[in-house]
Chain A
């Protein structure tokens, strides 16, 4: 069975600090997809990134970067120079096939104070 663990329940940082959100996953499939979603206080779920199991290249998008390591089954998310608008709950998710259900972690609440 697949599982996603986000051990950090809540992280508080001051604006401009860098912060890393951890995600560890379990799956028996060799082909799988990893995702990060952001849930701001308004409640919607915003897609941030998808990663395929066969592509371990790290990705950077502006202040966001993702570190995918199959050897440790981790898919960590770093926000550089955090801003107050980054305050949200961040969910890591996994799907074992391209079309199947997402299994979400419990989420990490990020609080960025001015």
Chain B
């Protein structure tokens, strides 16, 4: 069964460093999302991406964040200058274009900023 994959599973970085989180969505899906979950809290939407552009973003998704689909399979989230409060689990999700509105999530990347 097709699934969303994410790498790395765990990333440790120092405050102020740039990180790139990578995702491979399900191959025939066209909508892509990033969410984050601070430990013990609810899942929060960051950004959605469709047709090579951002379709929606939350207040969390400020200028420090960017997304890119560099090729036909990868979808990346970049944090330019990490802060301690960026420590969280980051989930990528994807969705088919029509008919099925459920989003399928990857296993997540745990980002630890020290």
B residues near A101, Cβ cutoff 8 Å? 33, 45, 48, 56, 58
Q: Does A68 contact B (CB under 8 A)?
A: no
Cβ contact within 8 Å between A44 and B107: yes
CA distance in complex: A100, B89 (Å): 21
Interface membership of B75, Cβ < 8 A? no
Q: Does A77 contact B (CB under 8 A)?
A: no
Question: On chain A, which size bracket covers the interface?
Answer: 20 to 34
Q: Are A107 and B42 in contact (CB under 8 A)?
A: yes
How many Å from the CB of B14 to the closest CB on chain A?
A: 24
Q: B-side binding surface: helix, strand, loop or mixed?
A: strand
Q: Is B114 an interface residue (CB 8 A)?
A: no
Q: B89-114: which residues lie under 8 A (CB-CB) from chain A? A: 89, 91, 93, 95, 100-108, 110
User: Given that A99-B50, A101-B58 are contacting pairs, would A47 and B42 also be in contact in the complex, using a CB cutoff of 8 Å?
Assistant: no
- CB<8 Å pairs between A and B, sample of 8: A43-B89, A44-B105, A44-B106, A47-B105, A91-B42, A98-B101, A99-B55, A99-B101
